[in-house]
Structure 1
Amino acid sequence: MSAKTVGGKGGKSKTSAETKVLTTRSSKAGLQFPVGRVHRFLRNKNANHVRVGAKAAVYVAAIMEYLTAEVLELAGESSFHALMFPLHDVSSIDTSGNAAKDLRVKRITPRHLQLAIRGDEELDLLIRATIAGGGVMPYIHKALVTKPSAPVKAAVKTA
């Protein structure tokens, strides 16, 4: 990670005591999502022009980063299941970690995102959007599944 320095006049060298290292609010909070950009969006998209505190942007950026990490982790697992078990129900198989990265699956497709979001009960309640190219969840109703044929019993004689 490179740090930006604030200098004074162009061309003059500064001593180490005179240079000031800038740290971003994202790095102070330990986040990857840009806290400054989130803060700007919160201020500009505010319809009532209400003041937005500095901690609000950190909080929103942290929530967005957590949800993104959760969806990507589950999508990586579902891309693994789509590769290994193409005809099985994805939500019933349990693994841990990011299986897409372990098995060198290059891409997480919209189908994997759809399976990940719909397979998790809490994310399904939160994200009720239609994912373009996501398809539908695999489901076959019990009545449509063919039952193994049982041998027909001999007719009982009635006298």
Structure 2
Amino acid sequence: MARTKRSENMPKSRRNPVSRSARAELQFPVSRVDRFLREGHYAQRLSSSTPVFLSGVLEYLVSNILDLAGNEARRNGRTRITPDHVKMVIENQKQFHYNIKILGGGKTKPRECSGIVSGDQGVTSHAIMLQTATDN
């Protein structure tokens, strides 16, 4: 089918570009989180919603920490949040302290499993994994 003159002369309608952060109503940069995930090679494939979800989670955690740090600063008679206030919040709040310890450090000593190394009968890797999980 041949194009008509009218369709050739009509300008294409273009929308202004809207960032993925604005579409998701987030302050954290979705595109930057996407770039970090892809550059880090954490997985072979990533869903398009993965960086949006992770940005939302990070924004939620940071807003909670900053809210509590602001309360701590007010309690101390200060108007600005300092790194000390954030540190106090993370150390005093059980949930934040545990998550930061797990995510940030990773400084746990590996356990030696003498049963596997020496070849003893009756000790399986599954039993040792269960024992390790219950110890934590």
TM-score of the two chains, using structure 2 as the length reference: 0.62
Hey, what does 1:53 align to over in structure 2? 47
Counterpart of 2:18 (choices 14, 23, 28) is 23
Give the equivalent residue in structure 1 for 2:96: 123
1:10-159 alignment runs, 5 A limit: 18-46=13-41, 50-83=44-77, 105=79, 107-128=80-101
- Aligned pair count reads 93
**The residue matched to 1:127 in structure 2 has which SS?**
helix
Whole-Å Cα distance in 2 between the matches of residues 125 and 20 of structure 1? 45
Q: Which has the higher contact order (CA 8 A, sep 6+)?
A: 1
- The residue type equivalent to 1:72 in the other structure is L
Report how far residue 21 of structure 1 moved: 1.3
Q: Which has the larger Rg?
A: 1
| 1:116 alignment partner, SS class | helix
Q: CA deviation at 1:18?
A: 2.6
Structure 1 moving runs of 4+ over 2 Å: none
Q: What's the CA shift for 1:19?
A: 3.2
Deviations 1:89-138 (A, max 9, x none): xxxxxxxxxxx7xxxx1x211110111111211111111269xxxxxxxx
CA distance in 2, matches of 1:113, 1:21: 39
More helix by share: 2
Q: Which stretches in structure 1 are left out of the alignment for 5+ residues? A: 1-14, 84-99, 131-159
The alignment's TM-score, normalised by the length of structure 1, stands at: 0.53
Identity %: 32
